[in-house]
Structure 1
């Protein structure tokens, strides 16, 4: 299938789009793009304080300036609320991005992962069952591949050995979606995101945290024990590429023969963590007009972390003609420029 046929520019403006986690990183940029294309977007978010709520409010305030946007403050784990939302707004396309994120945080606060990622997603599935939708898209994660050594990761790989509770909840989402699709004919697409980054991103992500640490006069912590021969690899994926591919998938649900499918959404170009850090230092240096070198502390790999992520993107390319186009240099420069401006560092 070619680009022209499946271009997101042919997005269906007659549909109603429900985006959960609308004040989150991906939720915000996706909703903004939909609204700019004249679509009606219903957004829900519980505005929790997992990271700085001010950033979530900043994103939300931008969406409220656009026409055809409605916001509900609430949690997808509240079944009565979700049931009422579906009955009132009757969404045609549902994009479930609401979830408790973070691998390390799941070691300290496991309950919130069950509440949001399992119970919350169950409520979304039940709502889609009783209020039929044209397409349900939901966020999975590259973490489902666990410590798989075969690279690049392909959607057909064995993913039954998660090494964090976060990964286990995302694998559970895929199984739940498969079951509901089979039983109730819900067209569903799971999106295995690979390390999404960019301006207005999540402060708990490494690149954002590194910038915060440096400008606070603190060392950054690198969890590879200083072993540069066996450095960590990550498939960093820029936010614009993420939104582009979701826009192409929205109105292209799976067919009746295979009502549930999963795609890797990655850059297909893994970078050494140390290369990523050097590139970030250069980007921040350019943004502030002086050389930036992080002070670095090397520590062992943490429980739940994986040594490498590397997405095969052949399946998504075949489905919607998509290939990521943002280099790590361009993506980090855009983040650095936004970061320096938003923090008023120059």
Structure 2
């Protein structure tokens, strides 16, 4: 697979730049001399201190401009496109989380539907070379066929969050067709790593251990029929996005959708025991989580498992970081960032 170098003469707009994936992508582009405009509304869905920590690490780069703005504010977003005329747009700003969408549906419509519509409209009126946007593995709903393939039927989402992401794909397809906007949707599969989202299970489990609290495991305590998840390490996600930016499409179709997952699903309990081992190594003492087993939550699916054949064919790359390596990197970062003392 022949891919080009990143074009440092172009301007890259990253929405959700203070977020987990947005931060790492911005950093990777800046390290290679690209001009990056970052947008984020710094909402309080999780600890804003972590978001500011990420931004603090981006600020020293001369070619980084940060704008506190909300993509659901059409006028503000339009002004960004008008002033900076980005060539590449990576839309990672969204209200995330399956369970939270049951508690606060308004946030999902505002950010994921109205906000994404505003992105498409801006790309229409200020043409871009490529729009890459975050979709989600949740669009597969309760699909029992594994691995999940991009050609699978995805019209039965089981959460509002999934519905908004499916809507994004439909909207992007329509705008690509009508206005010839090259667009690529990425169905992310459980992204994890250092500086990750505190609302993700692995992060929450770690916090609860140091707070001397039980962790709740929503698998009915059924180890034989455990939940399976396709955990994807952050570096693999960033490499995939970078390759999509630099690898020209061989297809005539202006809109594409790719799975981006590890293609190697793990049992939830395997993931938890691996995290225990990694934290033990980081701390130099053995730790074991206090566990409480509960019924599977509404909206959760039994297994997420990505076929990455289409992505590999398009960009010559497939995620491959093991959970042992990825969780060790997370554990080392967590202990250092929070300066955790070893429990006696």
TM-score (norm 2): 0.98
1:333 aligns with one of 309, 328, 334 = 328
Q: How does 1:95-114 map to 2 (within 5 A)?
A: 95-114=90-109
Any conservation in 1 of the 2:39–2:68 contact (CA below 8 Å)?
yes
Q: Tell me how far 1:326 sits from its aligned partner.
A: 0.9
Q: Tell me how far 1:331 sits from its aligned partner.
A: 0.2
Other-structure match for 1:28: 23
Q: Does 1:319 align with 2:314?
A: yes
CA distance in structure 1 between the partners assigned to 2:119 and 2:191 by the alignment: 24
Aligned length in residues: 341
Q: Tell me how far 1:252 sits from its aligned partner.
A: 3.3
Other-structure match for 2:200: 205
Runs of 4+ in 1 over 6 A off after TM superposition: none
Q: Does 1:299 align with 2:294?
A: yes
Q: Does 1:134 align with 2:129?
A: yes
- Unpaired runs of at least 5, structure 1: none
Any conservation in 2 of the 1:135–1:251 contact (CA below 8 Å)?
no
Other-structure match for 1:187: 182
Q: Tell me how far 1:325 sits from its aligned partner.
A: 2.7
CA distance in structure 1 between the partners assigned to 2:259 and 2:155 by the alignment: 16
Any conservation in 1 of the 2:215–2:290 contact (CA below 8 Å)?
yes
Alpha-carbon deviations, 1:259-307, whole Å to 9, x = none?
0000000000000000000000000000001111000000000111111
Any conservation in 2 of the 1:235–1:310 contact (CA below 8 Å)?
yes
Any conservation in 2 of the 1:135–1:253 contact (CA below 8 Å)?
no
Residues 331 and 256 from structure 1, CA distance in 2 versus in 1: closer, same or farther, beyond 3 angstroms?
closer
Q: Tell me how far 1:75 sits from its aligned partner.
A: 0.2
2:223 aligns with one of 205, 214, 228 = 228
Any conservation in 2 of the 1:135–1:187 contact (CA below 8 Å)?
yes
Q: Tell me how far 1:14 sits from its aligned partner.
A: 1.0
Alpha-carbon deviations, 1:176-211, whole Å to 9, x = none?
000000000000000000000000000000000000
CA distance in structure 2 between the partners assigned to 1:208 and 1:279 by the alignment: 13
| Aligned residues: CA RMSD | 0.9
TM-score (norm 1): 0.97
Q: How does 1:1-346 map to 2 (within 5 A)?
A: 2=1, 5-6=2-3, 10-252=5-247, 254=249, 257-346=252-341
Q: Tell me how far 1:108 sits from its aligned partner.
A: 0.4
